[in-house]
């Protein structure tokens, strides 16, 4: 039985119409969502950063789900900084909260992030730009990463995005993708992009750009 990576390698080798149509199936397969291997549990360490008090939450309005795509790797390391040891690109800090349908914080929820590096490549052999974390006692998370960039893989062109799976002890698992608001042109060309998944850019500084996103998860 070929593994997923062998299949991907095979697809990569055979770039063409066949590859493109298979890629289309993979990207459109809404039901193709692998479960998280680490259950929600105790809250993670205090995030400690200041979050604006206004929640991006409207009671009962769930965060939009999206396909996980072909590049998810399970069993990621638990960490908030998913950058490679030697990384290029622009540092991006994404912070926010995981909330239930009543906009209450969900402590101990698991968030598993994955994305490309600053050249548009996924690490499909290791865990660079992959990692999971648990929300703190206030339902807060903080991701340290670099700005993802647009890429083309398996015949599909993608606007910059961060993939994520999220689950609390009493919520369903959400699989979705987050987008950058200052990539309007790329976003408008992407057939998966959804406006409700735009992060809010906050004031950054010379060392990092900052963004905010709050997740609202369905009850289990």
Q: Least separation, in Å, of the C-beta of 12 and Fe ion?
A: 15
Q: Least separation, in Å, of the C-beta of 81 and Fe ion?
A: 20
Closest to Fe ion by CB, 47 vs 82, is 82
Closest to Fe ion by CB, 130 vs 134, is 130
Closest to Fe ion by CB, 69 vs 108, is 69
Closest to Fe ion by CB, 133 vs 159, is 159
CA 146 to chain centre: 12
Q: Least separation, in Å, of the C-beta of 9 and Fe ion?
A: 17
CA 75 to chain centre: 15
Q: Least separation, in Å, of the C-beta of 169 and Fe ion?
A: 28
- Look at residues 5, 13, 22 and name the one whose alpha carbon lies nearest to residue 73: 5
- Measured from each CB, the residue nearest to Fe ion is 69
> What is the contact surface with Fe ion in residues (CB under 5 A)?
69
Half-sphere exposure of 146 (CA within 13 A, CB side): 20
Q: Least separation, in Å, of the C-beta of 125 and Fe ion?
A: 16
Closest to Fe ion by CB, 69 vs 96, is 69
Q: Least separation, in Å, of the C-beta of 116 and Fe ion?
A: 7
Closest to Fe ion by CB, 69 vs 107, is 69
């Amino acid at each position: 039985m070929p593994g997923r990576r062998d299949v991907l390698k095979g697809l990569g080798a055979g770039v063409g119409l066949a590859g493109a149509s298979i890629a289309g199936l993979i990207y459109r397969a809404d039901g193709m969502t692998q479960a998280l291997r680490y259950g929600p549990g105790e809250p993670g360490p205090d995030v400690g950063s200041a979050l604006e008090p206004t929640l991006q939450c409207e009671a009962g309005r769930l965060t939009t789900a999206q396909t996980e795509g072909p590049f998810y790797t399970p069993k990621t390391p638990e960490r908030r900084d998913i950058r490679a040891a030697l990384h290029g690109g622009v540092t991006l800090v994404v912070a926010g909260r995981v909330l239930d349908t009543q906009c209450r914080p969900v402590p101990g929820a698991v968030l598993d992030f994955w994305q490309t590096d600053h050249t548009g490549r996924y690490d499909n052999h290791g865990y660079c730009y992959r990692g999971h974390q648990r929300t703190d006692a206030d339902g807060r998370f903080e991701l340290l990463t670099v700005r993802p960039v647009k890429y083309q893989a398996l015949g599909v062109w993608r606007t910059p995005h961060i993939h994520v799976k999220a689950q609390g002890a009493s919520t369903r698992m959400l699989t979705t993708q987050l987008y950058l608001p200052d990539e309007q042109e790329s976003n408008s060309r992407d057939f998966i992009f959804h406006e409700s998944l735009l992060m809010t850019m906050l004031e950054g500084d010379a060392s990092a750009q900052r963004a905010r996103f709050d997740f609202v998860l369905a009850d289990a």
